[in-house]
């Protein structure tokens, strides 16, 4: 029933779009999964490069967008749920769209071989940019062949076409809902998983943060050894998950002398194998596995103390309050436990310098290490993908190639497995390293984490550093993430604010913008927002009062906002309350002088309401047209 089920599902999506009921980003997958329960596994199995899952409370959409750009810049055929449909149904829908696109291209190939020409051209998200292939480049232990020409055809293109095919099999980049990650990964085993942060959000749906962290811990135990696991070292709720996969301790706890037996020291007596007890006193597997840690190491950013709305404030191992040497976003930062000695592990990929430049730009200097417990050589799946499109150059011919590290040429040796290592003294105890500077067209410290995570994932998947740089540079804000829309002679900036941490980071960015600030705050309490809006009492709105030129409140719970703002010290005479989103938008625009900027901070469904109104006015496109 596979083809029939796919046709029915695709038709449901087309009907949804035609009738204006939605973008058809989830419905086709929902229908297909009901008619064909094995569809996700079957369609996902067609991804030669595997699937990458990105999950977090904040930053999933932006990070997936950044990583997709890096992979496309590297010539890879990327399938993504770019519109943000991040449940199993949305991922299935994205895979279904890919499969139907491929079939249409094959039909076009058959027409072209008869000299008639393709009856229709189906747009493909495949990057076809010409990329130079002279010389060998290294990317944290991942190799690529030198001087190998592109193949002259592809089974998905016209026969004899000169269009360059993807360098390797298709790869999926999917943002996945925090609560759905285990379900999706259980059906379609990922090639890589990126876990970025856990903040308090939709407590009526998810429960406390510990619930999600426990589920992710279960996932860490069940992922196959070939899956790369990328973790934010700055989040104490996540950093320890790597210990569930590897024997090498990522922490150095000071256990009491009478503690229960711990793992014994390595026979060789290495420092990395000293007695160690991971959380929950679980034993670690015998072999180090693919765990990559990333984080921010710039002491010049952040704050010295936790904000009052911080979420993970106690050690997950012993319950003792955590101490911080540096706080970046929410509870993220350089943390340690004085009770049991657990501390933030050293990241493999780190943002050493962070330069923030408003809402539209940030520049990071990112360093990467070759580590036995991190990015330690060639990604085997990447090597297998490229074997179909690139002949391997003889090892002896590559022995004299050089690698760009810190702007200098260093000799590189290639071992039998194809992984490079430096000749002579390493840069530091971590081993060979690279350093790149990336600039992104998005702003805010929270986006510095998103960029760092995307860079770490791209490097781990074998994308060369220079390609990562160019891929990141071409990315603009996703819908609702500091997106800019021109409306009636004003610039409208949409900043999604769906939980205390996200809202506080947006406010932090706004405080760096020139005053006066014209604000439109929209609060809904629908299912996708969370039914309990009490989280707004943990948002630090107060610093905005002295800089606010106008304030308009709207949404299903606009009067709750009005109460919060009144108790926060803002004179009710200074804000306007409008329940209807269209009326609120008109009032906020009218209060903003021509040529000025209106900043909107909506919850998720409020963002969709606003964009629907903006589409109706012809100011922007439907969100599901994002790519």
Query: What DSSP letter does each residue of 499-558 carry, written as one string?
Result: SHHHHHHHHHHHTTSPSSEEEEEE---STTT-S-GGGGGGS--GGGGGGEEEEEEESTTH
- Using a pLDDT cut of 70, give the percent of the chain over it: 71
Q: What average pLDDT does the structure give for the chain?
A: 77
How is 93-130 classified by DSSP, letter by letter? Answer: HHHHHHHHHHHHHHHHHHHHHTTS--S-----------
238 and 328 Cβ atoms separated by less than 8 Å: no
pLDDT at 403 (0 to 100): 34
3-state secondary structure of 350: strand
Phi-psi region of 396 (alpha: psi -120 to 50; beta: other; left: phi over 0): alpha
Burial of 101 (0-12, 13-18, 19+ CB in 10 A): middle
Of residues 501 and 288, the one with the higher pLDDT is 501
Q: Write the pLDDT tens digit of every residue in 470-489.
A: 999 999 888 888 999 999 99
Does 602 have pLDDT greater than 80? yes
Q: Where are the alpha helices (DSSP H) in 257-313?
A: none
Does 391 have pLDDT greater than 60? no
71 and 455 Cβ atoms separated by less than 8 Å: no
Instruction: Indicate whether 134 belongs to any domain.
Output: no
In a shared domain, residues 326 and 441: yes
In a shared domain, residues 517 and 401: no
Phi-psi region of 281 (alpha: psi -120 to 50; beta: other; left: phi over 0): left
Q: Which of 115-124, 137-146, 260-269, 557-566 has the highest mean pLDDT?
A: 557-566
In a shared domain, residues 393 and 443: yes
pLDDT at 256 (0 to 100): 32
CA atoms of 202 and 214, how far apart (whole Å): 17
Strands 171-175, 78-80: pairing kind: parallel
92 and 43 Cβ atoms separated by less than 8 Å: yes
pLDDT at 553 (0 to 100): 98
Q: Write the pLDDT tens digit of every residue in 82-139.
A: 988 999 999 999 999 999 999 988 887 665 544 433 333 333 444 444 444 333 333 3
Domain boundary among 447, 473, 499: 473
pLDDT at 23 (0 to 100): 74
Q: Write the pLDDT tens digit of every residue in 330-370.
A: 999 999 999 999 999 999 999 999 999 999 999 999 998 64
Of residues 219 and 118, the one with the higher pLDDT is 219
Instruction: Indicate whether 153 belongs to any domain.
Output: no
In a shared domain, residues 345 and 440: yes
In a shared domain, residues 344 and 298: yes
Give the DSSP letter of residue 495. E
Beta pairing partners, 291: 229
Split at pLDDT 50, 70, 90, the class of 308 is confident
* 514 CB-near residues (< 8 Å, 6+ apart): none
- The stretch 196-225 carries a mean pLDDT of 83
Does 419 have pLDDT greater than 80? no
* 76 CB-near residues (< 8 Å, 6+ apart): 49, 127, 166, 167, 168, 170, 171
3-state SS of 162-195? CCCCCCCCCEEEEECCCCCHHHHHHHCCCCEEEE
Split at pLDDT 50, 70, 90, the class of 74 is very high
pLDDT at 382 (0 to 100): 44
Instruction: Indicate whether 570 belongs to any domain.
Output: yes
The CATH number given to whatever domain includes residue 492 is 3.90.190.20
pLDDT at 420 (0 to 100): 33
In a shared domain, residues 531 and 397: no
* 360 CB-near residues (< 8 Å, 6+ apart): 441, 442, 443, 477, 482
Instruction: Indicate whether 375 belongs to any domain.
Output: yes
- Using a pLDDT cut of 90, give the percent of the chain over it: 59
In a shared domain, residues 367 and 392: yes
Does 173 have pLDDT greater than 50? yes
CA geometry: angle 321, 327, 332, nearest 5 deg? 75
- The stretch 375-388 carries a mean pLDDT of 39
pLDDT at 136 (0 to 100): 33
366 and 294 Cβ atoms separated by less than 8 Å: no
Of residues 10 and 431, the one with the higher pLDDT is 10
pLDDT at 401 (0 to 100): 37
* Residue 44: both structure tokens together: 């996902």
Q: Write the pLDDT tens digit of every residue in 226-256.
A: 899 999 999 999 998 988 875 443 443 333 3
CA atoms of 126 and 26, how far apart (whole Å): 22
Of residues 559 and 420, the one with the higher pLDDT is 559
The CATH number given to whatever domain includes residue 306 is 3.40.1190
Does 192 have pLDDT greater than 80? yes
53 and 171 Cβ atoms separated by less than 8 Å: no
472 and 451 Cβ atoms separated by less than 8 Å: yes
Residue corresponding to tokens 């990241």 = 347
In a shared domain, residues 519 and 563: yes
pLDDT at 523 (0 to 100): 98
Does 142 have pLDDT greater than 60? no
In order of 6, 25, 185, 392, 621, the CA distances from 28 in angstroms are 8, 7, 20, 41, 21
Q: Which of 1-5, 396-400, 526-530 has the highest mean pLDDT?
A: 526-530
Domain limits at 552?
A: 481-625
Of residues 609 and 240, the one with the higher pLDDT is 609
CA atoms of 68 and 37, how far apart (whole Å): 27
CA atoms of 12 and 545, how far apart (whole Å): 48
In a shared domain, residues 435 and 502: no
* Residue 269: both structure tokens together: 């007596």
3-state secondary structure of 572: helix
* Structural element, H or E, at residue 7: helix 2-18
Instruction: Indicate whether 350 belongs to any domain.
Output: yes
Domain boundary among 473, 492, 515: 473
What are the strands of the beta sheet with 420-422, ordered from one edge? 402-405, 408-414, 420-422
* Residue 73: both structure tokens together: 């810049």
Instruction: Indicate whether 52 belongs to any domain.
Output: no
* Of residues 209, 215, 251, 261, the one with CA closest to residue 339: 251
* 516 CB-near residues (< 8 Å, 6+ apart): 547, 548, 549, 550
Split at pLDDT 50, 70, 90, the class of 267 is very low
Query: What's the domain count of the chain?
Result: 3
Instruction: Indicate whether 446 belongs to any domain.
Output: yes
- The stretch 23-41 carries a mean pLDDT of 92
Of residues 279 and 337, the one with the higher pLDDT is 337
How is 392-405 classified by DSSP, letter by letter? Answer: PPPHHHHTT-EEEE
CA geometry: angle 51, 442, 588, nearest 5 deg? 115
Domain boundary among 429, 450, 473: 473
pLDDT at 132 (0 to 100): 40
Beta pairing partners, 368: 349, 434
Instruction: Indicate whether 110 belongs to any domain.
Output: yes
In a shared domain, residues 387 and 469: yes
Does 285 have pLDDT greater than 70? no
CA geometry: angle 259, 265, 266, nearest 5 deg? 160
pLDDT at 105 (0 to 100): 87
In a shared domain, residues 390 and 425: yes
In a shared domain, residues 426 and 382: yes
């Amino acid at each position: 029933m596979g083809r029939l089920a796919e046709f029915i599902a695709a038709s449901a999506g087309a009907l949804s779009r035609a009738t204006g009921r939605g973008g058809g980003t989830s419905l086709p997958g929902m229908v297909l999964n009901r008619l064909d329960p094995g569809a996700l596994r079957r369609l996902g199995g067609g991804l030669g490069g595997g699937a990458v899952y990105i999950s977090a409370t904040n930053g999933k959409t932006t990070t997936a967008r950044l990583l997709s750009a890096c992979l496309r810049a590297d010539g890879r055929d990327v399938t993504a749920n770019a519109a943000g449909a991040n449940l199993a149904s949305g991922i299935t829908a994205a895979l279904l769209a890919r499969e139907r696109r491929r079939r249409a291209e094959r039909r076009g190939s058959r027409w072209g071989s008869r000299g008639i020409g393709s009856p229709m051209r189906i747009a493909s998200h495949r990057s076809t940019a010409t990329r130079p292939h002279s010389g060998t480049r290294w990317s944290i232990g991942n190799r690529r062949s030198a001087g190998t020409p592109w193949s002259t055809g592809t089974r998905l293109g016209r026969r004899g076409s000169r269009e360059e095919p993807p360098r390797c099999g298709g790869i999926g980049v999917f943002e996945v809902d925090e609560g759905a990650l285990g379900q999706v990964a259980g059906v379609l085993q990922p090639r890589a998983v990126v876990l970025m942060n856990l903040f308090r959000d939709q407590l009526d749906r998810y429960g406390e943060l510990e619930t999600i962290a426990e589920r992710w811990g279960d996932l860490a135990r069940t992922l196959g050894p070939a899956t790369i696991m990328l973790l934010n070292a700055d989040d104490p709720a996540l950093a320890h998950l790597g210990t569930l996969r590897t024997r090498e301790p990522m922490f150095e706890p000071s256990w009491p002398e009478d503690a229960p037996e711990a793992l014994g020291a390595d026979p060789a007596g290495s420092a990395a194998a000293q007695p160690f007890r991971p959380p929950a006193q679980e034993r670690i597997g015998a072999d180090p596995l693919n765990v990559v840690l990333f984080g921010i190491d710039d002491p010049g950013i952040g704050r010295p103390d936790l904000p009052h709305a911080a979420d993970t404030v106690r050690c997950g191992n012993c319950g003792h309050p955590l101490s911080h040497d540096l706080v970046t976003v929410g509870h993220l930062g350089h943390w340690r436990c004085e009770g049991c000695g657990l501390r933030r592990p050293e990241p493999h990929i780190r943002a050493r310098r962070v330069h923030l430049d408003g809402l539209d730009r940030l520049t990071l200097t990112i360093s990467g290490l070759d580590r036995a417990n991190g990015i330690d050589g060639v990604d085997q799946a990447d090597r297998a993908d490229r074997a179909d499109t690139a002949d391997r150059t003889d090892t002896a011919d590559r022995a004299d190639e050089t690698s760009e590290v810190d702007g200098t040429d260093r000799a590189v040796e290639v071992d039998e497995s194809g992984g490079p290592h430096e000749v002579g003294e390493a840069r530091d105890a971590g081993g060979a390293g690279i350093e790149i500077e990336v600039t992104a067209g998005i702003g805010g410290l929270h986006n510095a984490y998103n960029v760092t995570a995307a860079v770490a994932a791209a490097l781990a998947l074998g994308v060369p550093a220079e390609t990562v740089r160019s891929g990141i540079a071409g990315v603009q804000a996703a819908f609702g993430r500091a997106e800019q829309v021109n409306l009636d002679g004003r610039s409208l900036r949409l900043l999604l604010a769906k939980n205390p941490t996200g809202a506080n980071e947006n406010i932090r960015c706004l405080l760096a913008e020139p005053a006066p600030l014209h604000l439109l705050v929209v609060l809904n309490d629908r299912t996708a927002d969370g039914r309990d809006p009490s989280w707004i009492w943990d948002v630090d709105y107060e610093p905005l009062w002295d800089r606010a030129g106008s304030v308009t409140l709207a949404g299903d719970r606009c009067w709750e906002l009005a109460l919060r703002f009144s108790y926060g010290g803002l004179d009710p005479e200074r804000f306007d309350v409008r329940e209807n989103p269209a009326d609120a938008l008109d009032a906020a625009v009218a209060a903003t002088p021509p040529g000025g900027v209106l900043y909107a901070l909506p919850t998720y469904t409020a963002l969709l309401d606003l964009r629907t109104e903006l589409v109706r006015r012809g100011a922007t496109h439907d969100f599901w047209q994002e790519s």
